[in-house]
Structure 1
Amino acid sequence: MIGDRVAAVLGAKVAGVTALGTGAGGSGVYRVSLLSGETVFAKSYQGEAPGFLAAEAAGLRWLREADGAPVPEVLGECEDLLVTGFITPGRPTPAGAEAFGRELATMHARGAQSFGAAWPGYIGALSMDNTESDDWAAFYTERRVLPYLRAAVRRGALDLDQASLVERVCGRIEELAGPPELPARLHGDLWAGNVQWDVRGRAWLIDPAAHGGHRETDLAMMALFETPLLETTLAAYDEVHPLEDGWRERVALHQLHPLLVHAALFGGSYGEQAVAAARQYL
Structure 2
Amino acid sequence: MVQMHSMLSKAIQTYFDTSEIITWKQVYGGDINESFYIRTASGSYFIKIQTAPPPCFFHSEKSGLDTIRLTKTISVPNVFHVYEDGEVGCLILEWISGKKTEQAAEKLGNLLALMHNHTGEKFGFANNGYIGKLPQPNQWLDSWIDYYRTCRLQPQIRLAEEKGLLPLSIFKKLNKLMQELEQWIPEKPKASLLHGDLWSGNWMAGENGEPYLIDPSVFYGHDEFELAFTELFGGFPAGFYHAYQEVNPLSKDYEDRKELYQLFYLLVHLNLFGKSYVNAVERIVNRYV
Aligned match for 2:191, one of 183, 187, 190: 183
Tell me which amino acid in the other structure corresponds to 1:254: Y
Q: Does residue 1:96 correspond to 2:81, yes or no?
A: no
Determine the C-alpha separation between the residues in 2 that align with 1:143 and 1:247.
21
Task: Report the Cα offset of residue 240 of structure 1.
Answer: 0.4
Normalised by the length of structure 2, the TM-score is 0.90
Tell me which amino acid in the other structure corresponds to 2:267: L
Deviations 1:98-151 (A, max 9, x none): 211110000011123421111121111111001121111011011101111121
User: Aligned residue for 1:43?
Assistant: 48
In the TM superposition, what are the counterparts of 1:1-282 in structure 2 within 5 Å? 1-13=7-19, 14-21=21-28, 23=30, 26-36=32-42, 38-79=43-84, 80-93=89-102, 95-178=103-186, 180-198=188-206, 200-229=208-237, 231-282=238-289
Task: Report the Cα offset of residue 22 of structure 1.
Answer: 5.7
Q: Which runs of 5+ in 1 are unaligned?
A: none
Task: Report the Cα offset of residue 238 of structure 1.
Answer: 0.9
Kept after mapping to 1: 8 A contact 2:170/2:285: no
Determine the C-alpha separation between the residues in 2 that align with 1:198 and 1:219.
22
Task: Report the Cα offset of residue 91 of structure 1.
Answer: 2.5
Normalised by the length of structure 1, the TM-score is 0.92
SS at 1:280's partner residue? helix
SS at 2:220's partner residue? strand
Deviations 1:187-214 (A, max 9, x none): 0011111121335333311101111111
Q: CA RMSD in A?
A: 1.7
Task: Report the Cα offset of residue 175 of structure 1.
Answer: 2.1
Kept after mapping to 2: 8 A contact 1:195/1:205: yes
| Structure whose alpha-carbon radius of gyration is higher | 2
Kept after mapping to 2: 8 A contact 1:123/1:209: yes
Determine the C-alpha separation between the residues in 1 that align with 2:203 and 2:233.
11
Tell me which amino acid in the other structure corresponds to 1:2: L
Kept after mapping to 2: 8 A contact 1:183/1:213: yes
Kept after mapping to 2: 8 A contact 1:116/1:211: yes
Deviations 1:171-192 (A, max 9, x none): 1112211473121100001111
Determine the C-alpha separation between the residues in 2 that align with 1:209 and 1:84.
17
The change in CA–CA distance for 1:187 and 1:88 in structure 2 (over 3 A counts) is: same
Kept after mapping to 2: 8 A contact 1:68/1:105: no
Identity of aligned residues (%): 30
Kept after mapping to 1: 8 A contact 2:198/2:226: yes
